[in-house]
Each structure stands twice: as structure tokens, then as C-alpha cells.
Amino acid sequence: MSSDVRRLDPAEVAGHGADRAEVDLSTDLAGLALPDPILTASGCFASGREMDRFYDVDRIAAVVVKSITREPRRGLPTPRMAETPSGMLNAIGLQNPGVDAWVAHDLPWLAERGVRVVASIAGKSVADYRAVAEALRAADPEAATIRAFEVNLSCPNVEDRGLVFACDPSVAAEVIRGVRSVAHVPMLAKLTSDVTDIVAVARAVVEAGADGLTLINTVLGMVIDPETGRPALSNTYGGLSGPAIRPIAVRNVHQVHTAMPEVPILGCGGVREATDVIQFLRAGASAVSVGTSTFVDPFIGPTLVEELRTWCAQRGIATVRELIGTCTPWEA
């Protein structure tokens, strides 16, 4: 039986090793100082308030909020989700209230609670992305709450036959230049693995002004109902997430880090346990985003922080930063 259910007792996680408290979990992501390397993934933590029913969300190193667009978006019709082996396929259609409503309703709450926010920006055109970034800057000019932007480049470009921005290095770079021209905070470019050469896209967006990269977004997939012959999702295709895509994400992080070791990376894809975080750090990520696992366990973030502390303490690792990019190649 291959199970993703964890019956981990949090009391079991705590209490190991006398020097747990001395492990330094802090990290730096493109100039953003973080108390630990566990962030949320965009679209998997809503805007924070929903999760605050369980615990104080300001405990999270940083909350990457659900992507914000210029106009409100109603999203796609249901069905929007299908469960897959060790993962899930989704097509939500970027449902969100639009930047004006987000600034009016969500930002004040996040600010009042002292949450470190990474604002995820999505758009249908370069002008759209830029407009959202401008509105966010105007709403929080001192960057008191919005500490960074994450530019979601996995959106269809209406000006280019609906092709996804992140699939074309020059178009992706154009979006980054547009946001860069108005951004007042560090800017991460979130890329897709559905390309022939991830390094080429990564290089293009870094040269265009991205301060770091989020690797990776969901992987395009499809599920068909064998009985009805219909796609499981109303959108036909959807984004695959969860532990199923973890090896793909780790590979992407490793490839990009190997090519550009100086570029900060936020690893994302199927993180479920502390050892998954370690894999991403060793591959070259400075921090990780936890997405689908939050759906299974609302406490996954705080639990991972404690697990990570224990893992490091048991091995005498003083700081998680010393793990970044420590993947040892096999001898030839």
C-alpha cells in the first residue's frame, strides 16, 4: 500500500536532542530575510485568513498568496479537480477578487496580523502584470507587509495565441522587465517545467531583472473518465501537483542551480516531509514553498519547521544554509 497519509504525532517530532533550539533555520531568499525556509505555495493557502482558523499564520516564514490579477476573475466551471496517484490535477482559472478588492480586504488583514507576504501576480498581458505590481506598490509603498513579488508566468498570453508566458524566454523576460520597472520589492519569477530548456528561460528572466526564481509551477496533465470518455476537468487539461511531481521539481532546481549557482531559488513541488525540504535545499533552493500538502494537513508548515529542526539537530547541522547546493555528484 503506497500511502501519503502520515500519522505523525507532533509530540513525537518535538523532544529529540538537547540542541534542537540551537539549530539556525533562518535563510535569505533574494534579499528577503526569513526565520525558516518553509513558505506556502501560491493558490494553496488562499489569502491566509482561512488558515488562521487553525493557528496564527504570522508563524509562517512567508505566505505566498493566491495569484492576484488586474480584474476580478470568476474562475472556471466545475469540475476543477481530480485526484491522481500521489497528487492532484487542478484547473481553477485564477479565481480571485482582483487587485483593488485584494488591496481593500485582504491586505489590511495581513498587515494587521503582521504576516510576511509574497504577492503572486498574474496577468493576460505585460500591461496587466505591470498594473497589478503598480497597484500593490501604491498600497504598500514601504513594503511593510508585501516583502516580495512572485510573478506567475504560467498564464496564457492573450497577445500571443494564448501561449503561456513562461514557455518563451523572450516573452517571459518582457513580463519581468515590465514588473521590474515598477517593483519596489525583490521579485521572483515562477517558471514552468513544461519547456525544453528550463535554464534558457531562467537565464532570460534573470537577465531581465528577476532577483530569484520559483521552481516549479504545476505540470500540465490530463485525466479522462474511462466510462464517460469525458476529461475529468471542465478545462480538459490541468496542473498536476503533489508528491507525484517532486522529482521533477528537484531536477529543475538542480539544473538551474548548477547553471546559475548565484541565483536564489524557491523550490516548489510535492514537499510533504522534512527530508523533501532537505532534497530541495541540497539541489540548490534557499527555501521551499509547500502547496498541495496543506490541503491534506493544514498544520504542515509548522510541523515541517519542527521536523526540520530535529533532522538538523540529530545530524549536528548548525544552520540550514550550509545545506544549500550540497548535492554531491557521483564520481565519473
> What residues between 271 and 310 interact with other proteins by CB under 8 A?
292, 294-299
Neighbours of 31 (CB within 10 A): 12
Taking the least distance from each CB to other proteins, the nearer of 77 and 261 is 77
Nearest to other proteins of 201, 300 (CB atom): 300
Whole-number minimum distance, CB 237 to other proteins, in Å? Answer: 16
Q: Is 16 in the site for other proteins (CB under 8 A)?
A: no
Q: Does 53 bind other proteins (CB under 8 A)?
A: yes
Residue 54 interacts with other proteins (CB under 8 A)? yes
d(CA 33, CA 22): 18
90 or 145, CB closer to other proteins? 90
C-alpha 47/C-alpha 25 separation (Å) is: 25
155 is known as an active-site residue: yes
**Of the residues 81, 111, 222, 248, which one makes contact with other proteins according to CB under 8 A:** 81
Hey, which residues between 210 and 269 contact other proteins (CB under 8 A)?
Answer: 234, 242-243
**CA–CA gap between residue 307 and residue 234 (Å, rounded):** 38
Where do runs of H (alpha helix) occur along the chain? 10-13, 99-101, 107-112, 126-139, 169-180, 198-207, 246-259, 274-283, 292-296, 300-314
C-beta atoms surrounding 21 within 10 Å:
8
Q: 17 exposed, middle or buried (CB, 10 Å; 0-12, 13-18, 19+)? A: middle
Interface with other proteins (CB under 8 A), residue from 19, 22, 31, 55: 55
State the catalytic residue, choosing from 44, 155, 167, 268: 155
User: Looking at beta carbons only, is 141 or 247 nearer to other proteins?
Assistant: 247
- Residues at the site binding other proteins, with contacts judged by CB under 8 A: 1-7, 9-12, 43-46, 50-51, 53-55, 66, 74-75, 77-81, 83-88, 90, 92, 95, 234, 242-243, 292, 294-299
Tell me the catalytic residues: 155
